Structure 1
Amino acid sequence: MKKSFDVAIIGGGINGSSIAYQLSKLGKKVVMIEKNHLACEASSAAAGMLAAQAEIEDDGPFFQLALKSQAMFSSLSNELFEITGIDIEFVRKGMIKIAETEEIAKEVRQQAAFQRLWDPEIEWLDSQSIRELEPSLSPDVAGGMFIPNDGHVQPAKLSSAYAKAAEQFGATILKNTEVFSFNYENDRVNGVKTTIGNIDCNQVVLATGAWASKLMRETGLDLSVYPVKGECFSVKTDIPIINRTIFSDKRCYLVPKRNGEILIGATQIDHTFDKRVTPSGIATLVERASQLVPQIKDAPWERVWAGLRPQTGDGLPYLGEHPLWKGLFIAAGHYRNGILLSPVTGMLMADLLDGRPDENLLSAFRIDRHKTWVH
């Protein structure tokens, strides 16, 4: 294997793979290095929602970034299928953001009015109207915001498609290979030290999710990226219980997949790398999901799992170049929006490394926005 590349990407999750794909399309010689197997952490644990308008409630750079990325999925789905033959199972049947009580309904109605500025098809539905749309919903729900143009994908398939497409354009993928340090020359990072030896490159991208802070401390920078554990479970039925994603502000969501499985999540436990699933966590989810869709409690059990979302101190991802070391770039801290933001992350980072940064989109996500240094 050659050990000299234009770009080395550390991390084989969905955003690392998206960046590898976009850079490879530009003709860059790319190596993506993953310490385990591809998409083995948050990328494979996610439900695949593209919920820009349900989870982000205020206008600003993050919301605009999410909208831009969400709009890319239709063409991206076709593009990746043509290149790789992988169907990422992009489904756009809409999402309902549930209001469980009349008090919450006031807030959700206001959100619907705001969101119509970006999508005039979004509407508020009262309890009766929402159950005409999804008859399995509990009659106790007060109503909900219907987002007809929302959708979801299969994250593992999307990540695989990015990686395979990158390989089609010449990228090298190293699995079961860990990066434990950088190589430095003057004020630049010009390579990485790995378990199989040194790899030389002109640029390095760190895309290791909840683990990003570990390598960054070596460079004198504290990224404040930390893990948030989320436990999930699923049921599977021959006849669909629901046809659209159901999302609640109680932090419970139900995402129906093509194969009849409904993915239900997720708990939230900060600052832990322990991915073990607990009975109390799953019991809480079962109770919440059953309150929204009573048939869930009698549906056939399928599986349980947990993942680690990469959160940051201010809730915004880091996208940009290291403020001290040239040639070192970071794309991490996407929290609950890693799947949604993967298309735009790949595009923005590829353009940045190619010398064509979109400063308007990237400025809010600068690495040095907090200037937190390790002493």
Structure 2
Amino acid sequence: MRKKFDAVIAGGGINGSSIAFQLAKRGYKVAVLDKGKIAGKASGAAAGILGVQTELTEDGPLFQLACKSRSMYRSLIPELEDLSQVHIGYQNKGVYKVAANIEEEVSYKRLIESQQKAGEVAEWLSMDDLVKREPFVSAKLRGAMYIPNDGQVQAYELSLAFAKASMALGAEIYEYTHVTDFILNDERVYGVRTSQGEFLADSVIVASGAWSREILEKTGIVLPIIPVKGECFSVKVEKPLVQGTIFSHGCYIVPKQNGRLVVGATVKPHSFDEKVTVEGISLLMERAQNLVPDIANAEWERAWTGIRPQSADGKPFLGQHPAIDGLYIAAGHFRNGILLAPATGELMADILEGRAERPNPFVLSRVEYIGHSSKGVVM
């Protein structure tokens, strides 16, 4: 099989599908290739927290990109749901970043001040105020930083909605299609070679999460991204235990529809191991009960893992390959892939069209990488 497209995207996670959606809206003929199923890895495993102020503590390009991406959700979700017929499960009941000790209390109060100066909304809740809002949290906590604008989504459904919406606009999705090499000539990409044949394109975007490094090594560079394993589990409760997301150092509890609670996530760097372990889940269980003791009586549902892509400096790579024209990279989102998906799709579409603002703080050249030679299959 040999097909021709305007753009080929290697990776069918949420960011690959978001890029496909934006390009399809602009009239591009797009193909999305994934070696497994769409949203079958980290995108489908995520808890779906849109945690700009929860996760990011310093103002800067990443914080600003995250704020923009969060703001895009309100108008984007109705559009995606209409095109895809997938219910995304968006909720905006805020996040409680709880303090377990005096050091965290002092730190979070300072963070509130800095975020308020940056124009964001956040407030400190004493234990009395926190218990009024979330009566089932542990009395051993000291209070919480309340972030009303950090919401959440159903991560798998959102990823699927991006993919189906892009298909409704003309994009083509190819599952179980493994990219094995690039088609290169004179420092330019002309497509990819896959397990299902060749896909020719003027532009190729690598958006394969933690597996992006492996793919890009075929072009002579070693991308500074490592895999970080995260384990999660979910339970069901008859009556709601929490309204907003409870977030702490080392554990979060995210209330979903129909009485589900998602609890995550462990952090194990340099691991592609997707097995769920007794050690990881038991650790999360202990931490969850320290936050909301009554979760001990919840009904077990299931456990799973996700492999997240962490870059050397914590920021994603969003830009052109340093040595090959027409080859682009969108990878390294770590814990913020769901949050950053709308802005990632828009920014990458702008970069392909030469419309992105400069300088781009997410280019690969900001960090050291190994290798410069162009390898791959030559035409």
TM-score range, shorter chain: over 0.9
Structure 2 residue aligned with 1:168:
168
Q: In the TM superposition, what is the alpha-carbon distance from 1:371 to its structure 2 partner?
A: 3.7
Structure 1 residue aligned with 2:308:
309
Q: In the TM superposition, what is the alpha-carbon distance from 1:220 to its structure 2 partner?
A: 1.6
Q: In the TM superposition, what is the alpha-carbon distance from 1:2 to its structure 2 partner?
A: 6.4
SS in structure 2 of the partner of residue 230 of structure 1: strand
Q: In the TM superposition, what is the alpha-carbon distance from 1:223 to its structure 2 partner?
A: 0.9
- Taking the TM superposition and a 5 Å limit, the aligned residue runs for 1:1-375 are 3-119=3-119, 121-248=121-248, 250-360=249-359, 363-374=360-371
SS in structure 1 of the partner of residue 21 of structure 2: helix
SS in structure 1 of the partner of residue 364 of structure 2: coil
Pick closer, same or farther for the CA change 1:118–1:370 going to 2, 3 Å: closer
Deviates most, 301-310 or 82-91: 82-91
Over the aligned positions, Cα root-mean-square deviation in angstroms equals 1.2
Identity %: 47
Task: String of CA shifts for 1:55-109, please: whole Å, max 9, x gaps.
Answer: 1001111111111101111111111122222221110011100001122101111
Task: String of CA shifts for 1:310-347, please: whole Å, max 9, x gaps.
Answer: 00111111000001000000000000000000000000
Task: String of CA shifts for 1:34-68, please: whole Å, max 9, x gaps.
Answer: 11100000001100000000110011111111111
Q: Is the 8 A contact 2:2 2:200 kept in 1?
A: no
Q: In the TM superposition, what is the alpha-carbon distance from 1:373 to its structure 2 partner?
A: 2.2
Q: Is the 8 A contact 1:320 1:367 kept in 2?
A: yes
The CA distance in 2 between the partners of 1:158 and 1:353, in whole Å, is: 24
Which consecutive unaligned segments of at least 5 residues does structure 2 have?
Answer: 373-379
Q: In the TM superposition, what is the alpha-carbon distance from 1:119 to its structure 2 partner?
A: 4.9
- What is the one-letter code of the residue matched to 1:335? F
Task: String of CA shifts for 1:156-178, please: whole Å, max 9, x gaps.
Answer: 11111111111111111111110
- What is the one-letter code of the residue matched to 2:354? G
Q: In the TM superposition, what is the alpha-carbon distance from 1:114 to its structure 2 partner?
A: 1.5
The CA distance in 1 between the partners of 2:120 and 2:331, in whole Å, is: 32
Q: In the TM superposition, what is the alpha-carbon distance from 1:193 to its structure 2 partner?
A: 0.3
Q: Is the 8 A contact 2:253 2:261 kept in 1?
A: yes
Pick closer, same or farther for the CA change 1:203–1:183 going to 2, 3 Å: same
Q: In the TM superposition, what is the alpha-carbon distance from 1:355 to its structure 2 partner?
A: 2.0
Deviates most, 78-87 or 143-152: 78-87
The CA distance in 1 between the partners of 2:4 and 2:348, in whole Å, is: 20
Q: In the TM superposition, what is the alpha-carbon distance from 1:358 to its structure 2 partner?
A: 2.4
Q: In the TM superposition, what is the alpha-carbon distance from 1:121 to its structure 2 partner?
A: 3.9
The CA distance in 2 between the partners of 1:222 and 1:103, in whole Å, is: 39
Aligned pairs, how many? 372
The CA distance in 1 between the partners of 2:60 and 2:97, in whole Å, is: 21
- What is the one-letter code of the residue matched to 2:75? S
Q: In the TM superposition, what is the alpha-carbon distance from 1:152 to its structure 2 partner?
A: 0.2
Deviates most, 340-349 or 292-301: 292-301
The CA distance in 2 between the partners of 1:75 and 1:359, in whole Å, is: 26
The CA distance in 1 between the partners of 2:85 and 2:252, in whole Å, is: 30
Q: Is the 8 A contact 1:33 1:179 kept in 2?
A: yes
The CA distance in 1 between the partners of 2:357 and 2:35, in whole Å, is: 31
Q: Is the 8 A contact 1:77 1:87 kept in 2?
A: no
The CA distance in 2 between the partners of 1:9 and 1:61, in whole Å, is: 25
- With normalisation by structure 2, the TM-score equals 0.96
The CA distance in 2 between the partners of 1:221 and 1:149, in whole Å, is: 39
- What is the one-letter code of the residue matched to 1:323? P
Structure 1 residue aligned with 2:377:
none
Q: In the TM superposition, what is the alpha-carbon distance from 1:226 to its structure 2 partner?
A: 1.1
The CA distance in 2 between the partners of 1:283 and 1:350, in whole Å, is: 43
Q: Is the 8 A contact 1:225 1:312 kept in 2?
A: yes
- What is the one-letter code of the residue matched to 1:350? A
